[in-house]
Each structure stands twice: as structure tokens, then as C-alpha cells.
Amino acid sequence: MDEWIEKINNTCDIETLENIRIELLGKKGILTNEFLKLKNIPKEEKKEFAKKLNIQKHLITTALDEQKTFLEKELLKQKLKNEKIDVTKFNNSLQCGALHPVASTMDTVITYFQNLNFSVEEGPLVEDDFHNFEALNLPKYHPARDMQDTFYNKDYTLLRTHTSPVQIRTMLKQKPPIRMIAPGTVFRRDFDLTHTPMFNQIEGLVVDSADKISFANLKHTLVEFLEYMFGDINIRFRPSFFPFTEPSAEVDISCVFCKSKGCRVCSHTGWLEVLGCGIVDENVFKSIGYDNVSGYAFGLGIERFAMLKHNIGDLRSLFESDLRLLGQFR
């Protein structure tokens, strides 16, 4: 019997082990045959013989089970070793994504003003007439409302036409001094080569006690900001009109495409308009119950900034999700 046990322990594969099991314990197996002999054995010897056989059977089955478990474990070990995946192998065909130029320009502007301690405020995309127009010194039937072709809803709400309503919401929510920007999406009924019905703006507002905020403060902040964004450029403030500021100005920078020589983008003027700004109109403060304060405000279009910063000639390409274009901003 010891020979068999040794044979079992030396078996190297499961199939051979199974053959040994059949040879010993199968229907015609050696041990099975021994058990059959039991019925011909005299009574007195039977008990002793049966006991011996059962012990042998127990030893054999235990050895078979143990060797089987051992071989199965070895097999698994071998398998794990051979089928190992090298997770450190990097597939170079995978391409890395990048922020969309509009998103990255938005981030740059937000971070710039956050570093100057401006808070970042938000407002709803679906606005009411009061916040979008009325409180900003744009009363009903005022012709200046025509400057912004509006998407109206049936319930007298509208898709906000600019981020300026966030000025009103912030002033109603907190007391001066206020130093805030409001980034976000705005909507206008406008669609041509240079306009899309949805675009993004950043609004800026600074409010402090009366006479504390002057046009010089506004001018300094914007000149520093535009030089940070575009580097070595010329900047000019041109008198303009916005209902919510008085005096108002539009700011132009020297054309970044042709270096002021004159090209299609700047309509051969050498200048590009980049934002609107001004000293907050007294009527705006009045409409929300502010007294004895002064402030400046400005508003800019992010898509326009992204185009100028990255030399993109066509506004529509910002909305086409063409990977050939986007891949260039990785």
C-alpha cells in the first residue's frame, strides 16, 4: 500500500492521478476487488480484514484528495504566471483629451479675477424681466431693449440675454463692498457668421461707498487684465452707450491678427472691440435700494476672447466639435 501512496504523491498531473484512482477504487479496481473478497472470508477473520481494507481505503482516498488539491493549486499558479497582464505597458495609440478653448479661456479669466479677490457669482439661465432688463435701467418699451434680441417664454420669463442680471442678484444678496465676476451662458435670437444663439460672457462688478470708485479704477483694472491676456497690445477706450452704465465705454485692442496693419477680422481698422464697461448708472443702484455708493462694471464675450487668444478665424468652429481643431489645443 505504501508504494501506491508514494506513487500518488509523485504524480505530476491530474489525469494520471485520476487513472490511479480508477486502478484502485474503480469498478474493477484493486481495492474494490479486495472488498468483494469479504463475502468469502470466514466470519472470524472478516472483521479484521474489513478493518484493514477500510484503513487502506481511507489512506488512499486522503492521499488522492490531497494530491489533487496540490496539483490544482500548482496549475492555477502556473496559469497566473503565464497569463499575467503587464498593466504598466502604455498604449501610445490612446490620445489625451484637452479643455475646449472656450472652457480654458473661461478658466484663465476666472482665475485672473479670483487672484484679485473677486468672488465668482452665479445666476439662473431663465431670468425674469426685472433682473434682465428693468433693474438694469432698461424699462419696458425702452428702445435699448432692441440691442438684445430676446427669447421670451410664455410666462414672462426669458433666456437671459447677458450676465448683467447677476450684478442685480448679487447686490440684492449682499452689501457693499462688492467685488464680483459672473461667468455663464447667455442667449440671443441671433445667428450669422459672427453670432450664435448661445454664447458665454463674464460680467464684472465693483461697488463701494460713494466717490470711492472712479473711472480710473476701472481703466486700470481692464488695462492690466487685457495686457495679461494678450501681451503687447495697444488699448483704447471709446465712448459708448449702455443703459446700466454712465459714462460707458467700449474697449478696443490693436488687432492681434494683423498687428494693426488692417485685415478682414478687424475690418481694416486695425482695432478689435473686446468689451463693454462703465460707471454703474445711479438708476441701477436706485432700483435695488442702494444709496451713497459708487461702482464700475464690465462685460465681455468669452468666445471672442478665445478666438483672439488662439487665432481662430471663424466663430462657428468653436461649436462644431471637430477633433482636428480641438486636438490643436492639447
Residue ranges that bind ligand DAH, judged by CB under 6 A = 162, 164, 203, 242, 244-245, 276-278, 297-299
Of residues 11, 7, 161, 26, the one with CA closest to residue 72 = 11
- Alpha helices of the chain — where are they, by DSSP H? 2-10, 14-25, 30-37, 43-82, 101-115, 129-132, 165-173, 215-230, 282-287, 302-310, 323-326
In the complex, minimum distance from the CB of residue 201 to ligand DAH, in angstroms, rounded to a whole number: 6
Would you say 56 or 167 has its CB closer to ligand DAH? Answer: 167
SS3 content of the chain, % helix, strand, coil (to 5): 45, 20, 35
Query: Residue 277, exposed/middle/buried by CB under 10 A (0-12, 13-18, 19+)?
Result: buried
Shortest gap between Cβ of 203 and ligand DAH (angstroms)?
Answer: 5
Cβ–Cβ < 8 Å for 56, 31: yes
Q: How far is the CB of 211 from ligand DAH (least distance, A)?
A: 19
**Judged by CB, which is closer to ligand DAH: 67, or 164?**
164
- Residue 97 C-beta: closest distance to ligand DAH, Å: 31
Q: What is the distance between the alpha carbons of residues 250 and 265, in angstroms, rounded to a whole number?
A: 18
Sign of CA dihedral 304, 310, 315, 316: negative
Q: Which is nearer to ligand DAH, 4 or 160 (CB)?
A: 160
| Alpha helical stretches, state H, 176-311 | 215-230, 282-287, 302-310
Cell digits for 49?
A: 480484514
Query: CB of 246: closest distance to ligand DAH in angstroms?
Result: 10
CB 279 within 8 A of CB 267: no
Nearer to ligand DAH, 4 or 242 (CB): 242
Cell digits of residue 242:
449702455
Residues 101 and 310: beta-carbon distance below 8 Å: yes
Task: Tell me whether residue 63 or residue 123 sits nearer to ligand DAH (CB atom).
Answer: 123
Tell me how far, at minimum, the Cβ of 167 lies from ligand DAH, in Å.
Answer: 7
Read off the amino acid at residue 16.
Answer: T
Q: Under 8 Å CB-to-CB from 279, ≥6 apart: which residues? A: 213, 214, 215, 218, 245, 246, 247, 294, 295, 296
Q: Least distance to ligand DAH from the beta carbon of 163, Å? A: 7
Residue 59 and residue 220: Cα distance in Å, rounded? Answer: 96
Q: Residue 11 or 248: which CB sits closer to ligand DAH?
A: 248
Smallest distance, ligand DAH to C-beta of residue 218, A: 9
Q: Of 198 and 258, which has the nearer Cβ to ligand DAH? A: 198
Q: 101 or 278: whose CB is closer to ligand DAH?
A: 278
The residue at minimum Cβ distance from ligand DAH is 299
